[in-house]
C-alpha cells in the first residue's frame, strides 16, 4: 500500500500532517507518539522578532469547537534558527515552518532565513491569522495583496511554498487562483473562522481580544466545502484541514480534493490522534481496495 503524497517537490510519507499552532515544535508530543511516523509537521508560527501574543484569556470553548486569540506568540526567527531548529531538525518527518508577519517585508525576511535551513523543505505562508491587529488575515482576504505577498516570498524562497488561506472571505476560489498565479506550490486551508464568545453573566467578552479564531469540528462542513471548491479550480495540490478529529474526517477531506490533511485542535484532546489516523487510513484503503492514497484525492462521486 502506498501512502505517500507529493506536495510540490515535497514528498510526504503519508498525507497526515499536524497543523501550525497546535503541535508546538513537535517536541512536546514525543511522550505521546513517534513523530517520525507523521507525513509532516507544521510548526508554530514564526515571525521576524519576538512576540508576546495577546493577553490572557486567549481561549473560549464553544459548541464542538474553540476560539483562540494566542496571536502568534513566538520568540522570533533568530531564536527559531538558533535554538529550536537544531533540536528538531532530525525528527525525521517533513518539517514545515509556518511563516507569519505584519508586513510584506516581515514575511520575506522570515522566509529568507528559513530558506537557509537544510532540513526545512517547505514553508506555510500564514496570510490568514485572524489574531493580529495588523497583517495576518488582512493579507489573505484580498486577492491582490495575497498574490503580492506570495510573489515576494516566492522570489526568496526556493523550496516548497505552501500558502495558507483564510476562510473569512466571500470567494475562496478567487484568492486561491490569485495565490496560485503568484507562484504558490500548494495551498492549505482553512485557517480559523473569525468568531466571538460572550459570558452572559459577567456581560464581558471571554477573550481579551474580543474576537478570536474558531477551530474544531464545528467548522468542518465549511472547511470541506472550501477544500472542494478550491481543489476544483486550481492545479496545485490542496492540503485540507478544519475540524479533523478522526480517520473518517480525514478521508472526507481527501475525497473532497485534498492531497494531504493537517490535524489541529484534535491534538489537544487526543495527542496521539495523528498516528491513529494514519493507521485508520490504511485500513480504510484495505477495506475499499485502494492501493495508493493519491487515488482518494478528489474521488468524491457526484452524479
Partner 1 sequence: MSKVETTRIPEKKLIQDFTVIQNIRLNARHFILELQSPDQLPGLFPGQFVQVLVEHSPSTFLRRPFSIHEVNKENRSIRLLIQIKGHGTETLSHIHILDKLNLIYPLGNFFTTGDCKKVLLAGGGCGVAPLLFLAQELNKKGIRPIILTGWKTKADIFEAEKYQQYGELLITTEDGSEGEKGLVTQHSIFRKEKLDFERIYCCGPDPMMKAIGKISKTHGIDCEVSLENTMACGFGVCLCCVTPTIHGNQRVCTEGPVFNTNEL
Ligand X SMILES: Cc1cc2nc3c(=O)[nH]c(=O)nc-3n(C[C@H](O)[C@H](O)[C@H](O)COP(=O)(O)O)c2cc1C
CB nearer to ligand X: give 49 or 286. Answer: 49
CA-CA distances (angstroms) from residue 243 to 76, 95, 151, 240, 265? 28, 22, 30, 10, 7
> Which listed range, 44-52, 111-119, 202-210, 233-241, lies at the site for a second copy (CB under 8 A)?
202-210
Give the per-residue SS3 of 254-285. Answer: HHHCCCEEEECCHHHHCCCHHHHHHHHHHHHH
Cell numbers describing residue 172: 475562496
From 42, 129, 146, 165, active-site residue: 129
* x-marked contacts with a second copy along 50-69 as a string, rule CB under 8 A: ----------x-xxxx-x--
Contacts with a second copy in 141-180 (CB under 8 A)? 141, 168-170
CB nearer to a second copy: give 163 or 206. Answer: 206
Would you list the DSSP string of 236-254?
Answer: S-EEE-SS--SHHHHHHHH
Q: What's CA 193's distance to the chain center, in Å?
A: 13
CB nearer to a second copy: give 21 or 216. Answer: 216
CB nearer to ligand X: give 71 or 121. Answer: 71
Cα distance between the two ends of the chain = 28
Q: Does 168 bind ligand X (CB under 6 A)?
A: no
Among 38, 81, 88, 129, binds ligand X (CB under 6 A): 129
60 bridge partner residues: 67
Contacts with ligand X in 1-40 (CB under 6 A)? 19-22
Cell numbers describing residue 123: 514553508
Cell numbers describing residue 31: 511522550
The packing angle between helices 104-115 and 143-156, to 10°, is 30
Q: Binding partner of residue 272 among a second copy, partner 1, ligand X, none, CB under 5 to 8 Å per kind?
A: partner 1
CA torsion 226-93-129-107 (nearest 10°) is -120
> Which listed range, 24-32, 84-92, 143-151, 170-178, lies at the site for partner 1 (CB under 8 A)?
24-32
Contacts with a second copy in 7-46 (CB under 8 A)? none
Q: Which candidate, 93, 118, 90, 3, places its Cα nearest to that of 40?
A: 93
Among 23, 25, 85, 284, binds a second copy (CB under 8 A): 284
CB 111 within 8 A of CB 99: yes
Match 510540490 to its residue by C-alpha cell: 8
How many beta carbons lie within 10 A of that of residue 109, not counting itself?
19
> Which listed range, 173-181, 258-266, 270-278, 292-300, lies at the site for ligand X (CB under 6 A)?
258-266
Contacts with partner 1 in 198-227 (CB under 8 A)? 216
Q: What is the contact surface with partner 1 in residues (CB under 8 A)?
A: 21-24, 28-29, 31-32, 44, 52-53, 55-59, 61-66, 68, 70, 73, 216, 265, 267-272
Q: Which residues bind a second copy (CB under 8 A)?
A: 60, 62-65, 67, 141, 168-170, 193-198, 200, 202-205, 210-211, 214, 216-222, 224-225, 228, 243, 248, 251-252, 255-256, 284, 299-302
Amino acid at each position: 500500500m502506498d501512502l505517500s503524497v507529493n506536495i510540490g517537490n515535497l514528498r510526504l510519507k503519508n498525507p497526515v500532517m499536524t497543523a501550525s499552532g497546535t503541535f508546538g515544535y513537535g517536541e512536546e508530543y514525543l511522550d505521546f507518539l513517534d513523530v517520525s511516523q507523521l507525513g509532516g509537521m507544521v510548526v508554530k508560527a514564526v515571525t521576524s522578532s519576538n512576540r508576546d501574543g495577546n493577553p490572557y484569556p486567549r481561549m473560549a470553548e464553544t459548541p464542538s469547537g474553540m476560539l483562540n486569540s494566542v496571536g502568534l506568540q513566538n520568540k522570533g526567527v533568530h531564536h527559531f534558527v538558533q535554538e529550536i531548529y537544531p533540536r528538531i531538525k532530525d525528527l525525521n518527518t517533513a518539517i514545515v515552518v509556518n511563516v507569519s508577519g505584519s508586513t510584506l517585508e516581515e514575511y520575506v525576511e522570515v522566509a529568507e532565513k528559513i530558506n537557509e535551513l537544510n532540513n526545512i523543505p517547505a514553508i506555510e505562508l500564514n496570510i490568514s491569522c485572524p489574531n493580529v491587529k495588523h497583517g495576518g488575515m488582512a493579507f489573505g482576504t484580498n486577492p491582490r495583496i495575497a498574490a503580492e505577498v506570495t510573489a515576494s516570498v516566492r522570489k526568496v524562497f526556493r523550496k516548497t511554498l505552501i500558502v495558507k488561506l483564510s476562510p473569512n472571505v466571500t470567494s475562496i476560489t478567487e484568492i486561491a487562483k490569485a495565490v496560485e498565479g503568484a507562484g504558490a506550490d500548494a495551498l492549505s486551508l482553512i485557517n480559523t473562522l473569525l468568531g466571538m464568545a460572550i459570558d452572559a453573566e459577567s456581560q464581558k467578552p471571554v477573550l481579551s481580544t474580543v474576537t478570536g479564531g474558531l477551530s474544531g469540528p464545528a467548522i468542518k462542513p465549511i472547511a470541506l466545502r472550501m477544500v472542494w471548491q478550491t481543489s476544483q479550480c486550481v492545479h496545485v495540490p490542496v492540503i485540507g484541514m478544519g475540524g479533523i478529529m478522526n480517520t473518517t474526517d480525514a478521508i472526507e477531506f481527501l475525497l473532497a480534493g485534498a492531497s494531504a490533511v493537517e490535524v489541529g485542535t484534535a491534538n489537544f484532546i487526543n495527542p496521539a490522534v495523528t498516528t491513529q489516523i494514519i493507521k485508520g487510513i490504511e485500513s480504510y484503503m484495505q477495506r475499499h481496495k485502494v492501493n495508493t492514497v493519491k487515488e482518494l484525492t478528489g474521488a468524491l462521486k457526484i452524479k
